[in-house]
C-alpha cells in the first residue's frame, strides 16, 4: 500500500507539469491581457506595466521563467492585488476547504441515509420520499436553490444568515452547505439505493437472515461495505467538484474562498492567479482520486495493491 | 420486520429533525443576526422614515456597509473604484473636493501660491499634522507620494495624470533603466520639500485642473516612517501595518470578507471636521441581489440597489424608504464608431444611426429606468447646460434618419454593409443590442450582427481598433472637470483616441483649453468641444447618462444622501465619509 501511494505521488509531478504547460499557453492564447480594461489607458502605461512584469518578452522566454520560478515554489504575484499568489491562495483556501468538506459530509450522510432507506423500503413511503428529495436536489441548480433557501429560511423565518461564513456557526453555515451539498447528496442517494438493492439480493444476505441476524446488523455489517464500493467511486470526483465548483455558492453567500478568486482571475487575465489556482485544483483532484483508490482496499479486502 | 425496523428508524430521524428545527427557530427568534459589524444603532430598515433627524449630527455609533473586495491598498497604484473609495476614507491629500466639486484645503493650510507663469505651485501645509501612529506628517511625505506614483516600479494606471509634472513621464518609463538612471530621473522630478511644511511643484505646462489633481488619491502622502523608499519599497499586504492621515484608520482586514475602520483622532483638516461615526465595517458582497437581501435582514445598513429588481425595491416596505437615487451623473454611455471603417467615416451614416435610436425607450430597458437620455457627451452639470441639449440634432427622428442614410448613398438601406456591434456579454447588454438591432432594421432597413464577448476581449478589440460599433460604451469620470472627459480621447492621435475621431476644430480648441487658466473661457471652449463631439458624432453617439450606483441606505444614517456628488465611488459620499452619522 505504501509503495502504491508513493508511486501515485511521483506520477503527480509530470501531471502537474502537463497541467501547468497547457494552462500557460491556453491563457496567453485568450484575447485580452491583464492591463487592458473597460477604461482605456494610454498605451505607454500598458507598455510600462508589461515591461515591469516581463510580459513584453516572447512567450517561450516567459514560459522558461515561469517554470524556473515554479521549481522554486514561486507562483509570482497577482497583477490586480500586487500580492504573492501563494498568499492570496492561503487566505482563501481555508474557507473553500471548510465549505467543501462540510458539504461533502452533508452529501455523504444525507445521500447514504436516503439511499439505504429507499433500498430497505423499496416502493414504500420512505422510498418515494427519498426519491422526491433526490430529484429536487438534482433538478434545481445550486444558485437557484440558494436564493430560494435565503428567501424562505432567512428573510421569512429569520432562522439563518443571508450572507457570511463563520466555521462552527450553524446560522452562517447551514444554507451554503445545503445549497452546495444537496445535488451530490441526491446523486449519492441514487447510487446507494441501486447498489444496496443489488447487495440485499445476494445469497449471503439471505444466509444472514436465515441465521437470525437482526436487520440492522445485516445492513451495517454485511451489506453496507459491499454497497459502498460504487459510492466510493463517485465520492472522489464529488469531493473534487465540491472544492472546485463552490464559486457560485461563495459568490452568493459572500464566502471569502478561493473559488471567486479563480473566476475573477480568469476575467481579469491575472495570469499568476490563474496558474496558482489551476495547479491547486489539479493537485486537489489528483489527491482525491488517489484517496478513493486507496479506500477501495480498505472497504473491500479482496482489493490489494 | 426488516422494513419495519428501518421505517421506525426513519420516523425517529424525522422527529429528531423537526425537534432540531424547532430549537433553531426558537433560539434564532431570540438572537439578532451576528455577522460582522452589525450596526448597533442602525439595523431596522423596515418601514423607517426616510427623512431622518434635522438636528446636528451625533457623535458615535457604527454601521455596516456593503462594498466590493478591494484589490490594492496602495493609492499610488489603485485603479479599481472600491480601492479608491477606501483610499479616500483613510488618507487625504493636500486638497479635497467639496460638495460643489471645488478644491478646498485639506492637509494644506490654504490655497496654493501660483507663479506668474503658472508653472510653479507652492503649497503650505498645516503645522503639527500627524499620522495615525503619531509620527509627524510633513512635506516630504507628500513628495514621496508623487515619487511613488511616478516610479517605474509602481506602474499605476493613473500615473499619466501626473505627466504634466516635470520629469514624471520620463521617470515612469525607466522600467529597464539602470539604478543610477532611475535615481537621476527621480531627483529631476518637479516636486520638492524645501522645508517641513512647504511643497513645491514644477509643471511643464499651465494646467487649470492641477489643484484638483492634488485632491486625487494618486497624490496622497506616503508614510515614510514605514515606507522608507517610496520608489521601490513594497506596500504592506496587511493594511493594518500602515499609517493614515484621513478621517478613519484601518483596524482590521479579512481578505474577501470584511474591513473595519475606526475613527482616526489624528485627522486634522483645514476645511472639514472630525468624523462622527466610531466605526464603519465594510462587508464584501459581490452579488447585488444578496446584498439587498442582507439589507432586508439587517445584516448591512447600506447596499447597492439591484436595479433589475427596482420595482420590488420601491414597493417593498423594508426597502422603499431606503432607496436612494443620486442626482448627479458621472457616466455617459452610447455607441462608439471606429471612424476609419467605411461607411462609418461618413457623417450622414453616423447621424442616421444616432437618429434611429429612441433613447427614451432605450433607457426604460436598462438600469431600471433610472438612466437619463442624453445627447451631450459631457454631463451638463460640468458645463452648465442641459443633459439633452442636442436632441433636435442627433436625437430620435426616424424620418430624418432614413433621409440621411439615403443621402449617404444607401436609400432604404440598400447596399449598406452588415456591421458588427460588439458588446460585453451581460443580460442587460444583450437586451440593449437586441433593441438596437431591431431599431436599425425597422427604421433604416439595415442589418447588424452582435458580437458578445467578455470584458477583456472587448477591451483588447477596442485598443487594437478591431471593431466597428461598440456599445454600450463611454466614460466614467475620474475627476469633475470637462478636461477629464476629452483629454487624449478626441484629439487627432490622442493616446486614448481609439475611435480615431479627427476634427481640426476639436484639435484646436482642445489645445487651447488644456492650458487656459481663465475658467470662464475654458468652460466656454469645452462647451464648444462638447457640441462638436456630440453633434458631429465624432467617435460617439451619446445615449444616456447614469450614476455610478443607486443604493439602499438605512434611514437612520445621515450625511450620505445629502453629500453625494458625481465623485461617489462605491458608496454615496465616500468622498467625505467624515459627514456620515447615525441617529441614536
pLDDT digits (tens, 9 = 90+) for B504-536: 999 999 999 999 999 999 999 999 999 999 999
Chain B residues with CB inside 8 Å of A83's CB?
237
Report pLDDT digits (tens) over A189-214: 999 999 999 888 888 888 888 888 88
Peptide bond into B282 cis (omega under 30): no
Contacts A248 to B, Cβ<8 Å: none
Q: Measure CB to CB from residue B459 to each of A32, A44, A252 and give the nearest one.
A: A32
Q: Check residue B57 and report its DSSP letter.
A: P
How do residues B196-216 score in pLDDT, each as one tens digit? 999 999 999 999 999 999 999
Confidence (pLDDT) at B43: 36
Strands B448-453 and B419-424: parallel
* Cα-Cα end-to-end distance for chain A: 6
Decide if A159 touches B, using CB distance below 8 A. yes
Higher pLDDT, B369 or B132: B132
State the pLDDT confidence band at A36, using cuts at 50, 70 and 90.
confident
- For the residues of B173-203, what is the DSSP string, one character each? TGGGS-HHHHHHHHHTSSEEEEETTEEEEEB
Per-residue model confidence (pLDDT) at position A8: 86
Torsion of CA A228, A231, A235, A241, to 10 degrees: -170
Which residue in B566, B565, A77, B176 sits closest to B579, CA to CA?
Answer: B565
The pLDDT confidence band at residue B54, using thresholds 50, 70 and 90, is: low
Collect all residues with Cβ–Cβ distance below 8 Å to A90 and sequence separation of at least 6. Answer: none
Minimal C-alpha gap between A232 and chain B (Å):
23
**Yes or no, beta carbons of A269 and B456 under 8 Å apart:** yes
Tell me which of A27, A29, A40 to substitute to probe the interface with B (most B C-beta atoms closer than 10 Å): A40
B234-272 pLDDT per residue, tens: 999 899 999 999 999 999 999 889 999 999 999 999 999
Q: How many residues does chain B have?
A: 584
Chain A interface mutation, best of B5, B23, B31, B33, highest count of A Cβ atoms under 10 Å: B33
Nearest residue to B200 (alpha-carbon basis) of B139, B143, B121: B121
pLDDT in tens, A124-161: 888 888 888 888 888 999 889 999 999 999 999 999 99
DSSP E strands, B27-152: 62-67, 95-97, 103-105, 113-114, 120-124
Q: What is the DSSP string of B487-550?
A: TTTSSTT-TT-TT----HHHHHHHHHHHT---HHHHHHHHHHHHHHHHHTTSSEEEEEEE-S--
d(CA B496, CA B76): 21
Contacts with A159 from chain B: Cβ below 8 Å:
21, 24-25, 28
End-to-end CA distance of chain B: 65
Tell me, what's the pLDDT at A200? Answer: 85
Is the separation of the CB atoms in B254 and B227 below 8 Å?
A: no
pLDDT of residue A201: 87
Cβ neighbour number for residue A80 with a 10 Å cutoff: 21
- The stretch B273-296 carries a mean pLDDT of 96
B279–chain A Cβ distance below 8 A for any pair? no
Q: What are phi and psi of B201, to 5 degrees?
A: -115, 135
Indicate the range of A232-236, B44-48, B103-107, B317-321 predicted with least confidence.
B44-48
pLDDT of A305 reads: 67
pLDDT at B503: 97
Distances in Å between the Cα of A27 and the Cα atoms of A32, A274, A301 are 10, 8, 45
Distance CA A211, CA A207 (A): 6
Interface probe, candidates B5, B7, B11, B28, chain A, greatest A C-beta count within 10 A: B28
Q: Report yes or no: B519 and B481 within 8 Å, Cβ to Cβ.
A: no
- pLDDT bin (cut points 50, 70, 90) of residue B45 is very low
Q: Which residues of chain B have a CB within 8 Å of the CB of A120?
A: 2-3, 6
3-state secondary structure of A152: helix
Map residue B256 onto helix, strand or coil.
coil
Mean pLDDT, residues B55-72? 92
A120: closest chain B residue by CA: B3
C-alpha cell at A168: 462552527
Q: ipTM score of the complex?
A: 0.85
Give the helix/strand (H/E) hosting B253.
Answer: strand B248-254
Confidence of residue B51 (pLDDT cuts 50, 70, 90): very low
CB-based contact, A82 to chain B, within 8 Å: yes
CB within 8 Å: A267 and B476:
no
- Compute the distance between CA of residue B378 and CA of residue B387 in angstroms, rounded to an integer: 8
Radius of gyration of chain A from its Cα atoms, rounded to whole angstroms: 24
Question: Residue B60, SS3?
Answer: coil
Distance CA B242, CA A113 (A): 53
Question: What structural domains does chain A harbor?
Answer: 2-31+42-66 (no CATH), 92-299 (1.10.3720.10)
Amino acid at each position: 500500500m505504501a509503495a502504491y501511494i508513493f508511486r501515485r505521488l511521483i506520477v503527480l509531478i509530470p501531471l502537474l507539469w502537463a497541467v501547468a504547460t497547457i494552462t500557460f499557453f491556453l491563457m496567453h492564447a485568450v484575447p485580452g491581457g491583464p492591463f487592458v480594461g473597460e477604461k482605456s489607458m494610454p498605451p505607454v502605461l500598458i507598455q510600462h506595466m508589461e515591461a515591469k512584469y516581463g510580459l513584453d518578452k516572447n512567450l517561450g522566454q516567459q514560459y522558461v521563467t515561469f517554470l524556473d520560478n515554479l521549481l522554486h515554489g514561486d507562483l509570482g504575484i497577482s497583477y490586480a492585488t500586487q500580492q504573492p499568489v501563494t498568499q492570496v491562495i492561503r487566505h482563501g483556501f481555508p474557507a473553500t476547504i471548510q465549505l467543501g468538506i462540510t458539504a461533502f459530509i452533508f452529501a455523504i450522510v444525507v445521500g447514504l441515509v436516503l439511499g439505504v432507506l429507499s433500498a430497505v423500503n423499496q416502493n414504500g413511503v420512505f422510498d418515494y420520499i427519498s426519491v422526491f428529495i433526490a430529484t429536487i436536489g438534482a433538478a434545481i441548480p445550486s444558485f437557484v436553490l440558494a436564493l430560494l433557501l435565503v428567501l424562505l429560511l432567512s428573510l421569512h423565518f429569520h432562522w439563518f444568515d443571508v450572507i457570511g461564513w463563520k466555521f462552527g456557526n450553524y446560522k452562517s453555515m447551514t444554507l451554503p452547505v445545503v445549497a452546495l451539498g444537496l445535488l451530490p447528496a441526491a446523486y449519492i442517494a441514487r447510487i446507494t439505493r441501486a447498489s444496496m438493492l443489488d447487495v440485499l439480493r445476494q445469497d449471503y444476505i439471505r444466509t444472514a437472515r436465515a441465521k437470525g441476524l437482526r436487520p440492522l446488523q445485516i445492513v451495517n455489517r454485511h451489506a453496507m461495505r459491499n454497497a459502498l464500493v460504487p459510492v466510493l467511486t463517485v465520492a472522489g470526483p464529488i469531493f473534487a467538484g465540491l472544492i472546485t465548483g463552490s464559486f457560485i455558492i461563495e459568490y452568493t453567500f459572500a464566502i471569502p474562498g478561493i473559488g471567486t478568486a479563480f473566476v475573477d482571475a480568469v476575467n481579469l487575465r491575472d495570469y499568476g492567479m490563474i496558474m496558482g489556482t489551476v495547479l491547486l485544483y489539479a493537485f486537489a483532484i489528483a489527491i482525491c482520486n488517489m484517496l478513493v483508490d486507496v479506500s477501495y482496499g480498505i472497504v473491500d479486502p479482496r482489493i490489494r495493491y | 420486520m426488516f422494513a419495519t425496523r428501518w421505517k421506525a428508524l426513519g420516523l425517529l430521524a424525522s422527529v429528531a429533525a423537526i425537534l432540531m428545527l424547532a430549537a433553531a427557530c426558537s433560539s434564532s427568534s431570540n438572537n439578532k443576526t451576528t455577522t460582522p459589524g452589525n450596526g448597533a444603532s442602525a439595523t431596522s430598515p423596515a418601514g423607517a422614515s426616510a427623512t431622518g433627524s434635522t438636528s446636528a449630527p451625533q457623535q458615535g455609533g457604527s454601521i455596516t456597509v456593503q462594498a466590493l473586495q478591494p484589490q490594492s491598498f496602495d493609492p499610488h497604484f489603485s485603479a479599481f473604484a472600491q480601492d479608491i473609495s477606501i483610499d479616500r476614507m483613510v488618507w487625504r491629500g493636500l486638497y479635497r473636493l467639496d460638495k460643489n466639486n471645488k478644491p478646498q484645503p485639506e492637509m494644506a493650510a490654504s490655497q496654493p501660491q501660483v507663479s506668474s507663469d503658472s508653472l510653479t505651485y507652492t503649497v503650505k501645509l498645516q503645522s503639527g499634522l500627524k499620522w495615525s501612529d503619531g509620527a509627524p506628517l510633513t512635506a516630504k511625505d507628500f513628495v514621496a507620494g508623487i515619487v511613488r506614483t511616478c516610479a517605474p516600479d509602481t506602474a499605476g494606471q493613473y500615473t499619466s495624470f501626473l505627466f504634466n509634472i516635470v520629469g514624471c513621464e520620463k521617470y515612469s518609463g525607466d522600467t529597464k533603466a539602470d539604478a543610477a538612471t532611475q535615481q537621476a530621473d527621480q531627483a529631476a522630478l518637479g516636486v520638492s520639500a524645501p522645508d517641513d511644511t512647504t511643497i513645491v511643484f514644477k509643471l511643464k505646462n499651465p494646467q487649470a485642473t492641477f489643484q484638483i489633481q492634488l485632491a486625487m488619491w494618486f497624490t496622497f502622502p506616503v508614510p515614510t516612517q514605514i515606507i522608507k523608499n517610496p520608489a521601490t519599497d513594497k506596500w504592506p499586504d496587511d493594511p493594518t501595518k500602515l499609517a493614515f492621515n484621513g478621517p478613519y484608520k484601518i483596524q482590521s482586514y479579512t481578505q474577501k470578507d470584511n474591513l473595519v475602520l475606526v475613527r482616526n483622532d489624528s485627522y486634522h483638516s483645514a476645511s472639514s471636521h472630525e468624523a462622527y461615526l466610531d466605526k464603519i465595517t465594510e462587508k464584501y458582497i459581490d452579488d447585488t441581489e444578496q446584498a439587498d437581501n442582507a439589507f432586508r435582514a439587517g445584516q448591512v445598513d447600506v447596499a447597492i440597489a439591484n436595479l433589475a429588481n427596482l420595482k420590488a425595491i420601491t414597493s417593498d416596505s423594508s426597502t422603499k424608504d431606503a432607496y436612494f437615487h443620486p442626482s448627479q451623473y458621472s457616466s455617459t454611455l452610447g455607441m462608439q464608431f471606429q471612424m476609419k471603417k467605411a461607411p462609418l467615416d461618413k457623417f450622414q451614416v453616423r447621424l442616421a444611426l444616432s437618429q434611429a435610436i429612441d433613447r427614451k425607450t432605450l433607457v426604460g430597458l436598462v438600469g431600471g429606468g433610472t438612466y437619463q437620455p442624453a445627447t451631450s457627451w459631457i454631463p451638463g452639470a460640468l458645463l452648465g447646460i442641459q443633459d439633452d441639449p442636442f436632441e433636435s440634432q442627433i436625437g430620435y427622428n426616424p424620418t430624418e434618419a432614413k433621409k440621411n442614410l439615403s443621402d449617404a448613398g444607401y436609400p432604404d438601406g440598400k447596399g449598406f454593409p452588415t456591421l458588427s456591434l460588439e458588446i460585453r456579454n451581460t443580460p442587460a447588454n444583450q437586451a440593449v443590442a437586441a433593441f438596437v438591432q431591431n431599431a436599425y432594421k425597422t427604421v433604416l432597413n439595415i442589418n447588424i450582427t452582435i458580437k458578445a464577448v467578455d470584458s477583456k476581449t472587448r477591451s483588447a478589440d477596442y485598443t487594437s481598433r478591431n471593431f466597428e460599433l461598440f456599445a454600450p460604451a463611454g466614460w466614467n469620470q475620474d475627476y469633475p472637470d470637462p478636461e477629464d472627459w476629452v483629454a487624449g480621447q478626441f484629439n487627432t492621435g490622442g493616446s486614448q483616441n481609439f475611435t480615431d475621431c479627427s476634427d481640426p476644430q476639436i484639435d484646436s480648441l482642445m489645445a487651447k483649453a488644456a492650458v487656459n487658466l481663465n475658467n470662464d473661457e475654458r468652460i466656454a471652449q469645452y462647451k464648444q468641444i462638447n457640441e462638436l463631439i456630440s453633434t458631429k458624432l465624432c467617435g460617439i453617439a451619446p445615449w444616456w447618462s447614469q450614476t455610478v450606483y443607486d443604493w439602499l441606505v438605512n434611514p437612520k444614517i445621515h450625511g450620505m444622501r445629502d453629500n453625494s456628488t458625481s465623485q461617489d465611488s462605491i458608496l454615496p459620499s465616500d468622498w467625505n465619509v467624515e459627514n456620515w452619522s447615525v441617529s441614536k
